Amino acid sequence: MRRIVHHELGEPAQVLRVEGSPSASLGPDQVRVRVSYAPIHPGDLLGIMGSPAFGTPPTIGSVGRVPGFEGAGVVSEVGARIDPGLGLKQGLRVAFFPAPGSWRDEVVVPASSVVPLPDSIPDEIGAQMLINTVTALEVIRTAHDSLPPDARTGVVVLLTGAGSAVGRLLGKVLTDRGVKVIRLVRSEAGAAKLSGILRGRWRRRASAGRRRGVVGGTDRDRH
């Protein structure tokens, strides 16, 4: 099994390497997943560098440290004590989190750490779906709770890093809840990319609105 590992802290391009290692043994309550995608989060890079922004520097053992916390893949083996009612079986596509050390060919995680992926969600989206969703919802909850009760209507959110994966998710969740969002990005290229994503979303919504209008007997295109 291949894994991406570092034996010292430093710039990722200088300290990361690909190494082989034996596969981990499977516990009775665990699932083995053949990894298709494992995202690179900013926090992963901060940990590799030992940046103060990461917090306490990560521990590097004698066999090195494998970064990564989540991903997506296909179940290849199921532990003996896992409840069949969970539907976990060989060949099932799943997202997994938390899974420290996910930058490898396969991971062994508790059954509670995997979520089946529907066919409508590709692996590259599912691989970053869990931690980003938790992050976005926690940010919204913290911001909401920080406001006095009489200031929770008519809110306008200034969203920095709006073009990032978490930023796009935050923007969508907020606008779906009726919150006005002002999105900030770092560059003209980032603005153009985000505008293209939003235009595509608006076109889909407009198309859906027209379809609903036909069904309901009204002409939504006039509004």
Residues of the chain with CATH 3.90.180.10: 2-126
Res 197: pLDDT: 80
pLDDT band at 218 (very low <50, low <70, confident <90, very high): very low
Residue 102 contacts residue 68 (beta carbons within 8 Å): yes
Helix (H) or strand (E) holding 133: helix 129-146
Helix (H) or strand (E) holding 110: strand 106-110
When mean pLDDT is compared across 99-103, 152-156, 209-213, the lowest value belongs to 209-213
When mean pLDDT is compared across 4-13, 18-27, 40-49, 200-209, the lowest value belongs to 200-209
pLDDT at residue 41 above 80?
yes
- Average pLDDT over the chain, rounded to whole? 89
User: What average pLDDT does this structure show over 191-209?
Assistant: 69
Query: What is the per-residue pLDDT across 145-199, written as a single tens digit (0 to 9) for each?
Result: 999 999 988 999 999 999 998 999 999 999 999 999 999 998 888 888 888 888 7
When mean pLDDT is compared across 96-105, 114-123, 133-142, the lowest value belongs to 133-142
Res 220: pLDDT: 35
Res 203: pLDDT: 54
Query: Residue 123: which residues within 8 A CB-CB, separation 6 or more?
Result: 36, 37, 72, 73, 93, 117
pLDDT at residue 124 above 60?
yes
Res 57: pLDDT: 92
Res 219: pLDDT: 35
pLDDT band at 216 (very low <50, low <70, confident <90, very high): very low
Only one residue has tokens 């590992």, namely: 5
pLDDT at residue 55 above 90?
yes
pTM exceeds 0.85: no
Distance CA 127, CA 95 (A): 6
User: What average pLDDT does this structure show over 63-91?
Assistant: 97
CATH 3.90.180.10: does it fit domain 2-126?
Answer: yes
Res 191: pLDDT: 87
Res 221: pLDDT: 36
